[in-house]
Amino acid sequence: MPGTLPKSILSPVGTARETLSCIAALYDEAVQRDRFLQLVETELDRLPRQFRSRMHNVAVLVEDLPPEQTASRGARRPRSLPPRELVLGVYRGIPATKRSVFDLPAGPDTIVLYQKNIEAVCSSEEEIREQVRRTVVHELGHYFGMDEDQLRDV
């Protein structure tokens, strides 16, 4: 579970070196997530104004992996899957073209970016930045009512 401490930190049985190693690993992961979130925020800010002005009640979230990659014991790590099989992001909600003024208010639509999968298909921070932009634009296409065939042309 994210944010929980490994047993070696909670238990006095682990050596000081093991404890410091676990703390350093947690710190590195948090810093990496913060940097990834900064990249996402920067790319959202760089979207054209006409897109940003038409986005209403949309949350952009970052998770490590999609549920189907983590749900089973035999879950496969991102680098063990072919790049075409990795889910980099997903849109959850009702596309703008399907909404009606008569719909009851709902929570925000969400775009979820899967950090570990994005990192698995990239080899530099610049590639990660570009992939985040492409994934956000793709998922926003779904928000605006485009299907996969239409998005391939974008």
What CATH number does the domain located at 37-152 have? Answer: 3.30.2010.20
pLDDT score, position 31: 60
Domain boundaries, the chain: 37-152
pLDDT score, position 148: 83
pLDDT score, position 46: 93
pLDDT score, position 54: 87
Distances (CA, A) of 102 to 50, 106, 111: 25, 12, 24
Q: What is the pLDDT of residues 2-49, one digit of tens each?
A: 444 444 334 344 455 554 455 455 555 556 899 999 999 999 999 999
pLDDT score, position 112: 97
Which residue would you say has higher pLDDT here, 96 or 39?
Answer: 39
